[in-house]
Amino acid sequence: MRTQLLLAALLGSVNAIRIIHANDDGWAELYTRSFHEALLAAGHDTVLSAPAENKSGTGSSDAEPSPRTTACQYNSCAPSNAPIGRNESSPRLNWVNSFPLTSMRYGIDVISPSFWNNEPAELAVSGPNVGSNLYAQVHFSGTVGSAVFASKERKIPAIAFSGLTGGTLAWNTTPVPTRSLVYAQVASKLVDAVVAAGKPYLPEDVFLNVNLPKVEGECTDASKYKFVLSRINLGVFSQKDVAQCGSDRLPMEAVVTGTKGCYVSVSVGDANDKTTASADKQKIVRDKLQGLFTCLP
């Protein structure tokens, strides 16, 4: 029995990887903390590096962190006159007193190396954002901005997650509401699918922009969620998309998340301009995750 348990543990950790995690709503936001816990539960070696406070809508802004002279959001850290800090009882939880992109940069370059014996992050994730990041919102999103930085500047495959059900919540909210748990479970499922598909997880200079529908009705059950390959921007003047579900034009993200049936939009984004990536890069992602995607009704 002991041998069987050991084998199960070893098999369960085969796909465990080093993940750097950021967001734009703040290091103590519940959606992010729930996702962090889900990644750890899945066996991943995850380090959180996020802003000391809510920095939504700051896009790709970047500035060296300044000394923190007031408490972090939700009183989650005391004034310290330090530019970065961490939860001493859970040192994988780190704050950076600057923008989301800066938090990702510091997480990759400064904070995570000590956890991983100077090995690099294998995957970067951001979010889930409290609220959507669809179409034009993408360009202003700090959640997206941090993921794009990881992909473009550090060549780390990256995924930005956003949940349409809004409402900020403190990290220590009890009981943890269904929406936070569901988003964490569904986001973790996609991460595991990307990892299971093998390296390279994504094409170079690509990020995934993922929007999860509202947690209501049947969508309070994580097992009901289905993933649909989508696009970020309008395709009126764009080249054809990868052929999918009988069409060479992928559905817009808002169409996917607005369709009844718990559909998650997964767009292959170009990290150079935050628009939809080319059909050849879409195809790579589609083929790697071919068992994951479904078609809209």
Question: H/E/C letters for each residue in 149-182?
Answer: HHHHHHCCCEEEEEECCCCCCECCCCCCCHHHHH
- 8-state DSSP, 65: -
Letter for the amino acid at 12?
A: G
Distance CA 121, CA 222 (A): 27
Cβ contact 180:30 at 8 Å: yes
Crossing angle of helices 30-41 and 178-196, in 10° steps, is 40
Per-residue burial over 114-130, b = 16 or more CB atoms within 10 Å of its CB, e = otherwise: ebeeeeebbbbbbbbbb
- 8-state DSSP, 110: I
Phi, psi torsion values for 179, nearest 5 degrees: -60, -40
DSSP E strands in 184-252: the ranges are 206-212, 226-230
* Catalytic (active site) residue 103: no
Taking CA 77 as the corner, what is the angle to CA 76 and CA 83, rounded to the nearest 5 degrees?
130
Q: Which of 146, 151, 162, 188 is catalytic?
A: 162
Distance CA 59, CA 174 (A): 31
Letter for the amino acid at 164?
A: L
Residues that are catalytic: 162
